[in-house]
Amino acid sequence: MATIRLGDTAPDFTAETSQGTLNFYDYLGDGWGILFSHPADFTPVCTTELGTAAKFKDEFEKRNVKMIALSVDGVESHSEWIQDINETQHTTVNFPIIADVDRKVSDLYDMIHPKADDTLTVRSVFIIAPDKTVKLILTYPASTGRNFYELLRVIDSLQLTAYHKVATPANWEHGDKVVVSPSIPTEEAKEMFTAGVDEIKPYLRLTPDPTA
């Protein structure tokens, strides 16, 4: 079983889904991706999560992010579960759910943790960049629902820091000040970030969000 770490290349796969047979890389194309797993169909917390994900699809699309979910149940079960999700969450599931009956994708992404459950996947999130490297990994316990606002915030940070020499501080949200990369000397930073650099400490310098 593989262990996926930050910076690794996300494994490619072809799988049956609620929207037909899909190749993961082809599905993502040259954009970003978010892959999230669920222990099983017809589970209460996951029902709320998939409904929420569907409602957030436009926000992910604004960021050029495609969503894809996974459960170890089959396509027929997924179809029945989707009807329940649509009914109870007042939405329409608008992204594919992988039918990982043989645990192939779960094993590729190390989603089965024996100390949690021998056969069911843990509730993991992988955010994948256009170059197919893994940029974020989160694993939630079965009792705690995912925060999709936080996932959007993380994607905003990942996309900002991918193209600018900055980092995002605690509780950062789009438009807040950002941290200048420690590798850039202050004088160079002032030339680079024309909106201004606030030097709190030599190693802690803030500048306005260059994308705001």
Helix (H, G, I), strand (E, B) or coil at 206: strand
Cβ-contact 196, 210 below 8 angstroms = no
Residue 119: predicted pLDDT: 46
Residue 118: predicted pLDDT: 44
Residue position matching structure tokens 């027929």: 76
How far, in Å, are 60, 61, 173 from residue 149 at the CA level? 11, 14, 10
Number of Cβ within 10 Å of residue 112's Cβ equals 20
Radius of gyration of the chain (CA): 19
Main-chain dihedrals φ then ψ at residue 56, nearest 5 degrees: -95, 0
Residues of the chain with pLDDT under 70: 1-2, 112-122
Domains and CATH numbers, the chain: 14-145 (3.40.30.10), 164-207 (3.30.1020.10)
CA pair distance 107, 116, nearest whole angstrom: 15
Amino acid letter, 198: D
Cβ-contact 145, 136 below 8 angstroms = no
Active site residues: 46
Residue 141: predicted pLDDT: 82
Residue 116: predicted pLDDT: 47
Residue 2: predicted pLDDT: 62
